[in-house]
Structure 1
Amino acid sequence: MAAGLVAVLGVFLLGDAAVRGSWDVVLRAVGPVAVLVWGLWVLTYRPCIRLDDHAVTVVNPLRRTVVPWHAVADVRLRWQIVVETVGGRTVQCWGGPSLPRPKPARRGERAVLRQPDEMVVLLDRWSERRDDATGGDVVRGWDRPAVLVGAGALALLAVSLLSLWLGA
């Protein structure tokens, strides 16, 4: 929520400077605003977990990992969802639910920790599809959309710094 407000505020202020004809302000501020909005987008909005019939896809900041169902050895919930592969590697899922607070217990009873609904869906899909060997191998790589948008934001930052240096 706060990241969205920062993005809207940055775009609004840049638009206000453009409408007023302060192009020097727009040129100097567009780079830092773009890098800030990109960083917030990559860290707070972009991470996610996608499930399909053949694999679980984990999108973390700047990285993307596709784990076929047959290559999943274990799925557990720590501070976030952790997928362990048959090869022994672990994938931390930034975009999943976090560990919930335990449900208050009555005197003498143990506190009950409820599974998040997302975790239940992931475990159900894994139990249905773990014998399906059509997915291939675990694929790790860069998250291309995030990297390309980041390169664009860094290019705008370079333009802003250049205009600041030339204008001084």
Structure 2
Amino acid sequence: MASGLVVVLGVLLLADAAARGSWDVVLVALGPVAAAVWVTWVATVRPCIRFDDDAVTVVNPLRTTRVPWPAVRAVRQRWQVLVDTVDGRTVTCRGGPALPRRRPGAGGPADAPAVRPLLDRLAERRRVAGTVAPVAPVETTWDRVPVVLGAVAGVLLVVSVVTATVTAVA
């Protein structure tokens, strides 16, 4: 929440500097604002867990992993949702629901009702596929969009530092 407010404030101040014609301020502030927007998007908005009839797809900040249902050995939850595969890998879902805090004195593990739809779909797919389903490979790929946008934010950050240095020397 706080990072979102920082991003909104940065964008508003950047727009105000542009509207006033203070292009030196825009050039100095553009890189940090772009980096803050990118980090906020990659870390808090983008990560998620999607699933359909064929697979569970884990979208982490810079990578996406698609695990076909026959390749899923178990779904469990620690601080994040973990998908264990039949080949021994564990995929951590950065965008999954977190465990609720346990109350002091409450016995037993914390319950995670937000993971229930994923577990229900896994059980359904196992019933449909039976026990002899072929295991498709787990696919992990870099996502071009966040990587390219991160590179652009990095270049803008370098431009801002160089502009700030040049204006400070002059």
Checking the alignment, whether the CA contact within 8 Å between 2:72 and 2:86 is kept in structure 1 is yes
Matching residue within 119, 122, 126 for 1:126: 122
* 2:113 partner letter: P
Q: How does 1:1-168 map to 2 (within 5 A)?
A: 1-102=1-102, 110-111=107-108, 113-117=110-114, 119-130=115-126, 131=129, 133=133, 136-167=136-167, 168=169
- Partner deviation per Cα, 1:18-77 (whole Å, 9 max, x = no partner): 111110000011011111221121111111111111111111121111111110001001
Checking the alignment, whether the CA contact within 8 Å between 1:100 and 1:116 is kept in structure 2 is no
Name stretches of at least 5 consecutive residues in structure 1 with no aligned partner: none
TM-score (norm: length of structure 2):
0.86
**Identical counterparts, % of pairs:** 58
| Aligned residue pairs, count | 164
* 1:42 partner letter: V
Give me the whole-angstrom Cα distance separating, in 1, the residues matched to 2:107 and 2:24.
63
Give me the whole-angstrom Cα distance separating, in 2, the residues matched to 1:18 and 1:114.
50
Checking the alignment, whether the CA contact within 8 Å between 1:35 and 1:150 is kept in structure 2 is yes
Give me the whole-angstrom Cα distance separating, in 2, the residues matched to 1:79 and 1:110.
18
Give me the whole-angstrom Cα distance separating, in 1, the residues matched to 2:140 and 2:109.
36
Give me the whole-angstrom Cα distance separating, in 2, the residues matched to 1:60 and 1:150.
14
TM-score (norm: length of structure 1):
0.87
Give me the whole-angstrom Cα distance separating, in 2, the residues matched to 1:159 and 1:112.
50
Give me the whole-angstrom Cα distance separating, in 2, the residues matched to 1:77 and 1:22.
50
Name stretches of at least 5 consecutive residues in structure 2 with no aligned partner: none
Checking the alignment, whether the CA contact within 8 Å between 2:99 and 2:111 is kept in structure 1 is no
SS at match of 1:53: coil
Checking the alignment, whether the CA contact within 8 Å between 1:57 and 1:64 is kept in structure 2 is yes
RMSD over aligned CA atoms reads 2.2
